[in-house]
Amino acid sequence: MMKVITGVLIAVLSLFAAALLILHIKSRRPLRSAVINALCGILALAAVNLTCKFTGVRIPVNIYTFPGIAVFGIPACAALVIFKMFI
């Protein structure tokens, strides 16, 4: 059962990554769009971690969370916050 969930999760994340790549390529400045998306995600991660004393939610910066947030931006940070709140 766990292998099925992992496979579905990988497939969904791959589709999201492909959609983001297409959106960045179709924009007039694809590199600028990708960098701004990554910076917004990293700043959102910093904001969550800076307010952890008030909210009680802290996202550890590791080999999985940082690249995920850098690629997927603010939606990835929001998803990690929601997962952290419920788990």
| pLDDT given for residue 39 in this prediction | 94
- Cα–Cα distances (Å) from 40 to 3, 10, 17, 54, 61, in that order, read 32, 23, 16, 21, 15
Provide the pLDDT for residue 11: 83
Least Cα distance to 20 among 44, 38, 42, 39 occurs for: 38
Task: Give the pLDDT confidence score for residue 60 in this predicted structure.
Answer: 92
pLDDT tens digits, one per residue of 35-80: 998 999 999 999 999 999 998 889 999 998 999 898 888 888 888 8
12-30 confidence digits (pLDDT tens): 878 888 888 888 888 888 8
Residue 64: DSSP 8-state: T
